[in-house]
Amino acid sequence: MKVGVFLAIGAAIAIIYGVAFILVPEFVLATYGMTASAALDLMARYFGLTLLGMGLITWLVRETTDGKALRGLLTGLSVQGVIGVLVSIWATVNGTMNGMGWSAVLIYAVLLAGYLYYLFADRTVLGRA
């Protein structure tokens, strides 16, 4: 799979979740076993706008041939992925999120694996072949 296709998939996931967190935070929070409140809804919307922004950035950069830009994007997304995996595991294990929290762990982990693959294993993507 080409890096642009993988980035498009990651962008679509981020955009879909971002829009959901912005428009229906109560529903998304309930899905993960959290009780909605004004403060938690606000934080969910902030999380959503961040996901939406990251998704749009990823979508807009997905077809670049600039190795430096791709390396920067993949590095940033990898750091986000590592932290996302750790926070999601912590929140699921301590009961902040219900069992659906493991789906967040899985999503972050799969995307992280892809970002790391394109960052380190596929040297032709970043012009290092």
Q: What angle do CA 35, 39, 45 make, to 5 degrees?
A: 90
What is the predicted pLDDT for the residue at 67?
87
| Full residue range of the structural domain in which residue 53 is found | 3-121
Number of domains in the chain: 1
pLDDT in the model for residue 89: 97
**pLDDT reported for residue 78:** 97
Asked, for residue 90, whether it belongs to a domain, the answer is yes
Task: Please report whether residue 55 resides in a domain.
Answer: yes
Q: Which residues of the chain have pLDDT under 50?
A: 129
Tokens for 69, please give them. 């830009």
* Domain membership flag for residue 129: no
Residue 128, in any domain of the structure:
no
- The predicted pLDDT at position 83 comes to 97
What pLDDT shows up at residue 36? 87
Please report the pLDDT score of residue 129 as a whole number: 42
Is 67 contained in some domain? yes
Per-residue pLDDT at 121: 81
Global pTM reads 0.86
Which of 5-32 are b and which e, b meaning 16 or more Cβ less than 10 Å from the residue's Cβ?
ebbebbbebbbebbebbbeebeebbeeb
Residue 91 falls within a domain, yes or no?
yes
Amino acid at the residue 16? I
